[in-house]
Chains A and B, each alone.
Chain A
Amino acid sequence: MNVDGDDGHGMVPDPLLLDDDIEALLRGAEPSVAARHLLPFVRGVRAAGDDPAPRPTAELARVLAGIDTEVAPVAVLPKVRTARVTRRRAAARRVAGAALAAKLAVGATAAVAGVAGAGALHVIPGAPGEAVRRAIETVTPLELDDDRGRADDGPAPTQPTPATTPDGTGGEHGDRVSDDATGADGSERGVDGPTVADQAPGADRRAEGAPAGPPASVPAHGRGGAGTPDSEPPADDETPGAATPPGASGATGQGAGAATAGPPSTVPAP
């Protein structure tokens, strides 16, 4: 069908366009009648590649300028983001995209965790810190150190301490206190409270800064129980009671020397 008349430019599309017609058209040879109407299209397509080179992007411009000489394969180029950075950003995006209530909950949780951690690490001084530590010990199985760094003593026992003397040589502390109180062992009736406390099981785990107790006004009843009254304090406070020869001193027992400076006091017998 002649579209535009008989002026010589009219083109008659041939539905039976053959491969040879196309090859001749693409070679630039005189197109066949069947392919002549395609010539403007072919020229137009080729003209699309005759423009000047496009402006390179900044990244490519660096390469072309020799600034970025990295022409290594893409596979060995470093990743732009590490997985850790990506995870942090993903977490930040999740929080940012959360509802207001969720954000408040996240913030409150973080604040509580921060205060608890600070309290446990003794960053919070004084009573507030002590309150936080007590709260943590109440609601968790943790037992936190006191301010004097008792962590050096090792983990706190979770089982009740056996009722033995501090030096661990045997004998029930309760029985001895009872004997002292009643004078059953022939000594004066009554017991010295601080001394009893110091000799009680677990006394060594109490705070060293506790107020010093009064000296024993009754015969000391350390291990061996010789009952030398008001004997001199041990020469060396660090000397454990077990190292003291029996009967050498009435004030025996671990840490007893520290409790000999105060005024005497008696505990009435029941």
Chain B
Amino acid sequence: MTARDRFAGTFPSVLAAARSGDGAALGQIFTALAPVVEGYLRLQGAAEPEDLTSEVFLGVFRNLHAFTGDEPAFRSWVFTIAHRRVLDERRRRARRPPPEPLSSAPETPARDDVETTVGDVLAAEQVEALCRRLSPDQRDVVLMRVLGGFTIDEVATALGRTPGAVKALQRRGFRAIGRLIELEGVPR
């Protein structure tokens, strides 16, 4: 299930109640969107995706008064806030690189690992490994399109890019994923 239908048509009333500080409405928003946001943050490589998700929603709830729009616009706004947190973390990492892991485990799965995948779905670790191989710009676009379910135009708005640039990044990103799968194996 994508994030698009998680409010089942009740978004306007939920938003109105949340703006008045109703805890149940705030919880409904969190329950509907937090899993997707956390998945986005985790696949972006956030160090503490759960805590960062809470930070995102604190920012969302404190600025509810400033939002106007429908549910797709709300989801786009939430993802924009989440993406800003990702950018903040990238900047922090650039200033202070994370310590080297003690073990030198390979980032990409070996062919035997790929074969353990259930069905036609890559395991979470494999997905994360593939996402890490993308450039940050490609990853932003691919994840917003696949996980967020946004259109080209919505992604362009959220990232501050032109639709053409988003399309180009998307194309290069998916081609890179294809090459990695070719080289390192695909699920049987």
- From A60, which residue of chain B is reached at the shortest CB distance? B54
Stretch of A40-48, A93-101, A194-202, A255-263 that contacts chain B = A40-48
> A236: CB under 8 A from chain B?
no
Are B23 and A45 within 8 A (Cβ)?
no
Main secondary structure of the interface of A (DSSP, over half): loop
Q: Mark A58-72, 1 if CB is under 8 A from B, else 0.
A: 011001111001111
B122 to A49, Cβ gap below 8 A? no
* A-B pairs with beta carbons under 8 A, tally: 162
**In the assembled complex, B136 has its CB within 8 A of some CB on chain A:** no
Q: Does A29 contact B (CB under 8 A)?
A: no
CB distance from B142 to the nearest CB of A (A): 8
Tell me whether A60 and B57 are in contact (CB under 8 A). Answer: yes
Q: Mark A70-114, 1 if CB is under 8 A from B, else 0.
A: 111110010000000000000000000000000000000000000
Q: Which of B26, B66, B123 touches A63 (beta carbons < 8 Å)?
A: B26
B110 interface residue, CB < 8 Å from A? Answer: no
Minimum distance in angstroms from B165 CB to a CB of chain A? 13
Residues of B that sit less than 8 Å from A by CB: 1-3, 18-19, 21-23, 26-27, 30-31, 34-36, 38-40, 42-43, 49-51, 53-55, 57-59, 61-66, 117, 120-124, 126-127, 130-131, 142-143, 145-147, 167, 170-171, 174-175, 177-179, 181-182, 185-188
28 contacts between A and B (CB under 8 A): A4-B186, A9-B187, A11-B186, A13-B181, A14-B178, A15-B178, A15-B179, A19-B170, A38-B177, A40-B117, A40-B187, A41-B177, A41-B181, A44-B122, A45-B147, A48-B40, A48-B127, A50-B1, A52-B35, A53-B34, A54-B34, A56-B54, A64-B23, A64-B27, A69-B21, A71-B64, A73-B62, A73-B65
Pairs A-B, 4 closest by C-beta atoms? A66-B23, A48-B39, A44-B122, A49-B36
